[in-house]
Amino acid sequence: MEAPPPLSLRLASSSSLRASPVSVRLGVGHAVKRYSRLRPLRRRFCCRAASTVTLLDYGAGNVRSLRNAIHHLGFDIKDVKTPEDILSADCLLFPGVGAFAQAMEVLNQNRMTEALCTYIEKDRPFLGICLGLQLLFESSQENGPIKGLGLVPGVVERFDSSGGIRVPHIGWNAVNICKESAILDEIEGRHVYFVHSYRALPSEANKEWISSTCNYGENFISSIRRGNVHAVQFHPEKSGDVGLSILRRFLNSYGSSRSGNGNASKLAKRVIACLDVRTNDKGDLVVTKGDQYDVREHTKENEVRNLGKPVDLAGQYYKMGLTSFLNITGFRDFPLGDLPMLQVLRKASENVFVPLTVGGGIRDFTDGNGRHYSSLEVASEYFRSGADKVSIGSDAVYAAEEYLKTGVKTGKSSLEQISRVYGNQAVVVSIDPRRIYVRNPDDVQFMVIMTSTPGPNGEEYAWYQCTVNGGREGRPIGAYEFAKAVEELGAGEILLNCIDCDGQGKGFDIDLIKLISDCVTIPVIASSGAGAVEHFSEVFEKTNASAALAAGIFHRKEVPIPSVKEHLFREGVEVRL
């Protein structure tokens, strides 16, 4: 398999993948002058006439979702290859996923910076998304300070988690429209999808630009607009129908409007459907479901439990919520050789406009021909195939063990490599712990808790042992120690499974989820054991989980996702309906 191109405009491939750490030392003040040269509002341009949208894809993260959304809305795409492609664009989209420094390095290396500024200063139709908004500001503190395009006054800084908010800001949140923005007319009271750790704050100097703010511990800038120049911090291509309407309005340059009538007011709790995917004995890729991780039917044939086709189920879940794909045998396969899984992802992402997380087998790998692949290459292929976030399981356990032994961040682990290039918001760590009962807390060196479900011999204490390879091998590290270590190594979110509860339908392991969600500042997804809608309100009531995941009850259609959301709504839990 040809090495994926490095983080650069999809011009020509080159040999080495690793983006060299960059930081451009910032001289103060000169950037500010730029925006004052912006010409005042003159006339509104229209993309519809063009029907071809120019896309500035600098190769980081999941731009495939935006491509799918643009095609879904009936437009063709022209990729930027030269600065002239920017200047001659009728309508330019600039999606930015990943890290600020890398993005600026690629723009500077490809002489795109000047062209981009000129295009925007000419008030040409422009829509920046996420990093595509942040790069318009003077600079960012992300691995910096790093100089930005300097078109909008202000510095992009990390959310302040000292007040207890979890960073990254991941999930569905509401925006407050503060000026007529044309493309945002329909989102008042609706949830849109955010995934970021850095944000720009409103100030006297940039207030004329701001079209909406969002509250997450503080009011930050969620969109700007000036004339035909728009940019949003959230991801319209991942915000379901509301997001598609924003893109449609920009591409159709506004068109008819109707006001939003939602209930959105703050960051919503997320409900996630998980598809555990593997090949069955016939070699077909199926959605399976473990019974405490045992995915084989307890029949004479002992087949792999088959609960449906991945793309079909993903398509069904799209309308209702978020989806995760876990390639549960990725630890023994080589993911880049597992074309069926990549094809499933590409196919599923064509019609799924909510975030997709994909995991399984992400690690450095040497194939049968002795060709070495880095975990960054594996993750890049998942992102290019439509993943918004990648989930790392076994490889993160080994990295944490090494880190706890040496106390040194080598920067070489898959976790560190991928979060450095794509941003920690794109990296989930999946934990597969098993509950181990002990008579006395001093019996083990790991964090032990008083358990609310006594052991088989009445033990009152338990610790949670991490496992690898799909629960097949226990490791000398506790879930508590592991969670804290991976947060330090760059994880942006934790998917907290529980082997004991998996597929049991008796509810989430509240003890475990409370232990972990109280010891990290990144979002935690509760997983394993959901059997009824009440289990979801219970976990949000009793723990600081930011999301709750289920599999069996959704695949077997025992509990429809909408009924979970309606129940949570009735219980006063903010959810995206």
CA distance 17 to 366: 16
Evaluated on CA atoms 544, 433, 193, 146, the torsion sign reads: positive
* Known active-site residue 241: no
* Known active-site residue 432: yes
Contact stretch for ligand 1PR (CB under 6 A) within 143-151, 159-167, 241-249, 496-504: 496-504
Q: Which of 237, 416, 487, 493 is catalytic?
A: 237
H or E segment to which residue 194 belongs: strand 191-196
Number of residues located near ligand 1PR, criterion CB under 6 A: 34
Residues 6 or more apart whose Cβ sits within 8 Å of residue 70: 53, 55, 77, 93, 247, 251
434 contacts ligand 1PR (rule: CB under 6 A): no
Q: How many residues does the chain have?
A: 577
CA distance 238 to 248: 13
Locus of tokens 């555990």: 276
CA distance 42 to 227: 8
Q: Which of 191, 196, 230, 235 is catalytic?
A: 235
125 contacts ligand 1PR (rule: CB under 6 A): no
Residue from 221, 341, 529, 536 touching ligand 1PR (CB under 6 A): that is: 529
116 contacts ligand 1PR (rule: CB under 6 A): no
Closer CB to ligand 1PR, 47 or 526, in the complex: 526
537 contacts ligand 1PR (rule: CB under 6 A): no
Q: Which of 47, 91, 130, 214 is catalytic?
A: 130
CA distance 67 to 268: 27
* Closest of 85, 30, 21 to residue 53, by C-alpha: 85
4 contacts ligand 1PR (rule: CB under 6 A): no
Site string for ligand 1PR, 138-177 (x = CB under 6 A): ----------------------------------------
Contact stretch for ligand 1PR (CB under 6 A) within 357-365, 370-378, 402-410, 561-569: 357-365
Residue from 89, 362, 415, 496 touching ligand 1PR (CB under 6 A): that is: 362
Residue from 65, 110, 497, 543 touching ligand 1PR (CB under 6 A): that is: 497
Closer CB to ligand 1PR, 242 or 426, in the complex: 426
CA distance 76 to 69: 11
CB 377 within 8 A of CB 428: no
CA distance 322 to 270: 8
To the question of whether residue 497 is assigned a binding role by annotation, the answer is yes
274 contacts ligand 1PR (rule: CB under 6 A): yes
* Pairing of the two strands 547-550 and 524-527: parallel
CA 421 to chain centre: 14
Which spans in 423-571 are helix H?
479-489, 510-517, 533-542, 552-555, 561-570
CA distance 229 to 482: 44
* Known active-site residue 571: no
Tokens of 562: 């909408």
To the question of whether residue 130 is assigned a binding role by annotation, the answer is yes
Rounded least distance, CB 362 to ligand 1PR, Å: 5
Rounded least distance, CB 545 to ligand 1PR, Å: 14
* Pairing of the two strands 229-232 and 219-226: antiparallel
466 contacts ligand 1PR (rule: CB under 6 A): no
Q: Which of 276, 377, 416, 509 is catalytic?
A: 276
430 contacts ligand 1PR (rule: CB under 6 A): yes
* Closest of 299, 539, 516, 307 to residue 429, by C-alpha: 516
Residue from 394, 413, 537, 544 touching ligand 1PR (CB under 6 A): that is: 394
DSSP conformation letters of 98-157: S-HHHHHHHHHHTT-HHHHHHHHHTT--EEEEEHHHHTTEEEE-TTS-EE---SEEEEEE
To the question of whether residue 68 is assigned a binding role by annotation, the answer is no
* Known active-site residue 502: no
What is the Cα gyration radius of the chain?
23
Residue from 65, 212, 527, 543 touching ligand 1PR (CB under 6 A): that is: 527
> First-to-last CA distance in the chain?
42
Tokens of 48: 């519809």
400 contacts ligand 1PR (rule: CB under 6 A): no
Contact stretch for ligand 1PR (CB under 6 A) within 95-103, 353-361, 517-525, 540-548: 353-361
CA distance 525 to 515: 13
Closer CB to ligand 1PR, 432 or 487, in the complex: 432
Contact stretch for ligand 1PR (CB under 6 A) within 22-30, 218-226, 393-401, 443-451: 393-401
* Known active-site residue 235: yes
375 contacts ligand 1PR (rule: CB under 6 A): no
DSSP conformation letters of 80-97: --SHHHHHT-SSEEEEE-
Closer CB to ligand 1PR, 8 or 430, in the complex: 430
Closer CB to ligand 1PR, 187 or 530, in the complex: 530
Rounded least distance, CB 366 to ligand 1PR, Å: 16
Tokens of 528: 């394993």
Rounded least distance, CB 543 to ligand 1PR, Å: 16
Task: Name the amino acid, one letter, at 234.
Answer: F
Contact stretch for ligand 1PR (CB under 6 A) within 45-53, 112-120, 181-189, 355-363: 355-363
Known binding-site positions for substrate:
361, 497
Positions that interact with ligand 1PR (CB under 6 A):
274, 276, 289-290, 293, 295, 326, 328, 330-331, 359-362, 391-395, 430, 432, 470-471, 497, 502-503, 527-530, 549-552
By annotation, the residues acting in catalysis are: 130, 235, 237, 276, 432
